[in-house]
Amino acid sequence: EVQLVESGGGLVQAGGSLRLSCAASGFTFDDYDIGWFRQAPGNEREGVSCISSIDGKTHYADSVKGRFTISRDNAKNTMFLQMNNLKPEDTAVYYCAAGEGYYNDSYYLKVDYWGQGTQVTVSS
């Protein structure tokens, strides 16, 4: 059974930090490109960051560049999202995902597997 299980969400004040983790099982984690998405109330789900399985190249949405860092530990089948200098507009449910990345002007992730989501709330 394929599982992606997020943890690390919570309530933090603006300017604070959180580190999200996502533990993967049931598939060959090393073979997949991975990423983080988020969805705020009333908004569509949007891509936050992705990391390639081949070369480790990272991609970020403009809104989080310089503040968020994505990483993966293939030995532990785990991915991370370090979020610093958080802003109220970062408030959302954050989802980890695994799939196949591709370029079409920008970098996209065609998702095969989703996590269940973890709530991040940033107070002003």
Q: How confident is the model at residue 35 (pLDDT cuts 50, 70, 90)?
A: very high
CA distance 46 to 77: 24
Predicted confidence (pLDDT) per residue in 43-80, tens digit: 999 999 999 998 889 999 999 999 999 999 999 999 99
Q: Given this model, what pLDDT does residue 51 score?
A: 94
Q: What is the mean pLDDT of the chain?
A: 96
CA distance 29 to 75: 9
> Is residue 119 within 8 Å of 58, Cβ to Cβ?
no
Predicted confidence (pLDDT) per residue in 17-32, tens digit: 999 999 999 999 999 9
Nearest Cα residue to 12 out of 89, 123, 90, 91: 123
> Is residue 14 within 8 Å of 124, Cβ to Cβ?
yes
> Is residue 44 within 8 Å of 95, Cβ to Cβ?
no
Nearest Cα residue to 36 out of 2, 1, 75, 63: 63
